Amino acid sequence: MISPFGSEILQSVYIDDSSLREDLLKEAQSLPSIVISSSAAANAVMLGGGYFNPLKGFMNLQETLKVSESMQLDSGVFWPVPILNMLHDQDLNEGIRSAPKIALRDPNIEGNPVLAVQEVNAIEFISNEAIKSIINQVFGTEDPKHPGVVAFSNGGNTLISGPIQVLNFSYFSSDFPETFRTATQIRTEIETRGWEKTVAFQTRNPMHRAHEELCKMAMKDLNADGLLIHMLLGKLKKGDIPADVRETAIQKMVENYFPENRVMITGYGFDMLYAGPREALLHAVFRQNAGCTHLIVGRDHAGVGDFYGAFDAQDIFDSIPEDSMQIKIFRGDHTVWCHQCEKVVMMRDCPHGPDDYLLLSGTRVREMLSQGKELPPEFARPEVTKILSAYYQTIPQ
């Protein structure tokens, strides 16, 4: 089986021992505490799930700048984006500033229960100049219309670094009990199934015919044993379809159109960065930790708007050292129904042109669903259309 990223054994900072976890929860009640950002909470969940192996906690300023500039941890290990507990200076009280250990409270659950306990190695101010530099290097733009840039810009001016001990998985395990899985759990399941070659498909959207066929093409071309459909369950930008709706639609598609016992549908608790190429690298890192040998990287992977070239997220894998990671990528092209070929094709493999393709804009798709109109079956499976249409008709027009 493929090794975890950056270590021989997958290391999680989740406290699995129930007795020790109870002791830490009791200790946390007496510690100085702070309600962290949704982004930091998602990072804690990913650290607890083993997805960010070999990291043990949040980065300090020096390592943050090094990762942003050269995609390297202080240890020399490759790493594509900073993993931070970033907040506003005014949110820090004197108790936190002088404490060796603090409790991190969950911003996404009523009452803000303790999510993790963090050792405080350093509390550092991060200048506007440094924030601007990080944004440019990670997102490739400082345009305020980019949702990731906005989120990072508003994240604060202070970093609290140090290792953490994660005590729960926030709302993900309770809201998505059938779907949320840690990297440790996925790796164990892949091993149990005996899959030697596993392809991962990242999605923050429902899967239409093009996505379905792209997965099948990758499985066939790679002679893969199985497919991991890995859904993002965290915060998205305004207008994206909620995770529970996506989950229902994907479950129905797999149930009806994929062979039995060849697909795992799981989700992970992370807030989307929309960082395009850099985020594609991060996606590969945590899929390797989950035991996958390949990741499908399609057109405009992890992008938003027109901020990245169609295949920048593939090209960045050619620019990093060959030994950076073991996982390989499957390069997908724009996938579309061709009337002449009478099937879904990747444009690079098709001799026909735009006049032969079924092309529907996202705006047009949303309009049709909102009006209760059926999408063409060549574009979306009828069962998926029904689920999405029911959702869109609940949204005030």
Active-site positions read: 204-205
In the sheet that holds 226-232, the strands lie side by side as: 263-268, 226-232, 198-203, 294-297, 328-331
Query: Residue 88: CA atoms inside 13 Å, Cβ hemisphere, count?
Result: 8
Helix (H) or strand (E) holding 57: strand 57-58
- Nearest by Cα to 254 from 245, 242, 246, 263: 263
Helix axes of 382-392 and 243-257: crossing angle, nearest 10 degrees: 170
User: Rounded CA gap, 37 and 178, in Å?
Assistant: 26
* Dihedral sign from CA coordinates of 73, 187, 276, 310: positive
Joined tokens for residue 67: 């990762």
User: Rounded CA gap, 396 and 393, in Å?
Assistant: 8
